[in-house]
Each structure stands twice: as C-alpha cells, then as structure tokens.
C-alpha cells in the first residue's frame, strides 16, 4: 500500500518548532508545496497547548532553542505522546554526533541536519507518517480480531443455556400440557437462537466498527461486506 493511500497529506498537520524565521519559512514552503498543513512556533512557551489543541501528526523540532532546548521539549512531549503516536524529528545545526544520540535516547524518531536537504527531509517525513499509519492499521486489525473472538465466545456461552431452556420448556409442555404462554416463550427463545446463528454467519464476512451508543459508551456495529 502506498503512502498516499495510508495517510492524506492535506489532512496531515506538521508542527515546526524553530526560533529561526528563515528556517521555518523554508520548511513551511517545502511542506505546503507537498500539500501538508503546517503549524509554526518560534518559541517553546506554549508547545504543549498547541499539540493538545491542534493534534499535529509529526513535529519538526530544532535542538538549539532559547529557554528550553529541543531535548527538554522532546522529554516533555514524550510524557504525553509516544514515538508511534507523535513522531518527532530533531533538526540540528550541531556537528557533534553525541547531541543527536542524546535526542534519539530521549525518544526522537529521527533527525535532520541544517542546512536541510529538502528531498531527504520530505522522504523521512513520509516514512514516519507511513509507519504511524501502518501501526494504526495493525492495531485496528488486532482489535477487530479480538472483537470477533469475543462475540463468538459470547454466542457460545449463550447457546448452551439457551439449548437447556428449550429442552426444559419441551419437558414442561409434555408433562403439564400446553400453556398459553409457552408458544410465545418458545418463539422468543428460537428468535435468540436465530440471532446467534446469524451472528456466526455474519462474522465470516463482516467488518466490525464502533458507533456511539450513549455518553462515554460505544456499541459494536456489524456491517456485512458486499
């Protein structure tokens, strides 16, 4: 699957945190030319609020910043967001490799050196965005697999007492004769059995999604695939 299919550029936000206006401008132009949405910060005073409000998909973070340096900012980001949830690519003009190693140890996903080679920067951004998209697909697939297993388990657990209930009802009918309520009760029990059978059949060719049911609650929704 191509990157274009896994994430939509025009819906992808990239946050640039850099105090150098020229570097920010060049990065912004490169990203917008490639259809990304860009958010810019020239300081580190409100970056957590911006991340919370804007929910960027990736951060380009300069290591050399006034006040808090980039590694301090990175540490604070990692207390809120993991490497796979929010990739952070450090941008540095430093030549000392130990600074880059420090950033990587603190949770940076990657780094770029100034002056930035834009074709390299773009490719690395695409790689990390694709990794996030693929991770979400894998996580979703595992969630669906667990949901299918759970539904099958519930169906099995319901089916056993349901079979017993139908058997007891037949015994009562044979022993005490027909009761006006027995046919209705038997019909409802068979309806439950039919739902269980349909659920088992549907699960073989179904997508499982979730929809809002009540406040702070979701309900599994089965959608048969055509």
pLDDT score at 200: 66
Which pairs count as long-range contacts for 137-140, CB under 8 Å and 24+ apart, including other chains?
137/6
Query: What is 139-224's CATH number, 3.30.2410, 1.10.1060, 1.10.287, 1.10.3470?
Result: 1.10.287
Please tell me whether residue 179 adopts helix, strand or coil conformation: coil
Task: Please indicate whether residue 91 or residue 10 has the higher confidence score (pLDDT).
Answer: 91
Average pLDDT over the chain, rounded to whole? 80
> 148: pLDDT confidence band, cut at 50, 70 and 90?
low
What's phi and psi for 181, nearest 5 deg?
-85, -15
CA–CA separation, 169 vs 181, rounded Å? 11
For residue 6, the number of C-alpha atoms closer than 13 Å in the C-beta half-sphere is 16
> 85: pLDDT confidence band, cut at 50, 70 and 90?
very high
Mean pLDDT of 58-86: 93
pLDDT score at 220: 53
**Residue 65 near residue 99, CB atoms below 8 Å:** no
Task: Please indicate whether residue 100 or residue 57 has the higher confidence score (pLDDT).
Answer: 57
CA–CA separation, 158 vs 193, rounded Å? 9
Listed residue (80, 24, 22) closest to 47, CA to CA? 80
pLDDT tens digit sequence for 35-63: 999 999 999 989 999 999 999 999 999 99
Helices 47-54 and 70-78 pack at an angle, to 10 degrees, of 40
Which residue ranges does the chain devote to CATH 3.40.50.2300? Answer: 3-116
Superfamily for domain range 3-116? Response regulator (3.40.50.2300)
- Does this model's pTM top 0.95? My answer is no
Which residue ranges does the chain devote to CATH 1.10.287? Answer: 139-224
């Amino acid at each position: 699957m191509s990157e274009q299919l896994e994430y939509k550029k025009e819906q992808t936000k990239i946050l640039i945190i850099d105090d150098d206006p020229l570097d920010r401008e060049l990065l912004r132009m490169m990203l917008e030319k490639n259809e990304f949405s860009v958010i810019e910060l020239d300081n580190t005073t409100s970056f957590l609020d911006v991340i919370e409000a804007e929910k960027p998909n990736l951060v380009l973070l300069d290591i050399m910043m006034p006040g808090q340096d980039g590694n301090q900012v990175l540490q604070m980001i990692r207390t809120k967001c993991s490497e796979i949830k929010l990739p952070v690519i450090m941008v540095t003009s430093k030549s000392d490799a130990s600074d880059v190693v420090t950033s990587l140890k603190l949770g940076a996903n990657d780094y770029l050196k100034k002056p930035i080679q834009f074709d390299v920067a773009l490719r690395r951004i695409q790689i990390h965005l694709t990794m996030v998209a693929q991770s979400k697909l894998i996580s979703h697939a595992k969630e669906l697999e667990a949901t299918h297993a759970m539904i099958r388990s519930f169906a099995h657990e319901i089916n056993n007492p349901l079979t017993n209930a139908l058997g007891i009802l037949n015994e009562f009918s044979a022993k005490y004769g027909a009761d006006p309520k027995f046919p209705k009760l038997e019909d409802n029990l068979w309806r439950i059995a039919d739902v269980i059978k349909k659920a088992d059949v549907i699960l073989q060719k179904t997508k499982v999604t979730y929809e809002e049911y009540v406040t702070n609650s979701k309900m599994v929704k089965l959608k048969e695939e055509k």
